[in-house]
Amino acid sequence: MKIEKTTAGQTMTFAVEGRLDTLTAPQLDGEIQGKLDGVTELIFDFVNLEYISSAGLRILLSAQKVMNKQGRMVIRNAKPEVKEIFEVTGFNDILTLE
């Protein structure tokens, strides 16, 4: 998995490429945990994300809980296969997908 993090003002964007699963989720978690102070918009660009497992979903849920208190979080450009995982798990009701 490859993660590209960019920050512009109070907006932080993570472009994630590859698979977000049990092996790679700790890498993304390490990039997020404790680093969202002052962030009012958190964006995940999943244009190149092939797969997300329950471990990846937990990371997103944790980030969403933080952002509920200080701004908004959106997931952009998710492929149909990834969107289907969000739908089957009910995460499409919890997360904002664009």
Query: Rounded CA gap, 68 and 25, in Å?
Result: 21
CA of 34: how far to CAs of 30, 57, 63, 75, in Å?
9, 18, 10, 20
State the residue range of the domain holding 87: 2-97
pLDDT of residue 76: 98
Q: Give per-residue pLDDT as tens, 77-92.
A: 999 999 999 999 999 9
pLDDT of residue 74: 98
User: Which pLDDT band holds residue 65 (cuts at 50, 70, 90)?
Assistant: very high
Total of domains in the chain: 1
Residue 29: give its domain's CATH number.
Answer: 3.30.750.24
Q: Give per-residue pLDDT as tens, 18-42.
A: 999 999 999 999 999 999 999 999 9
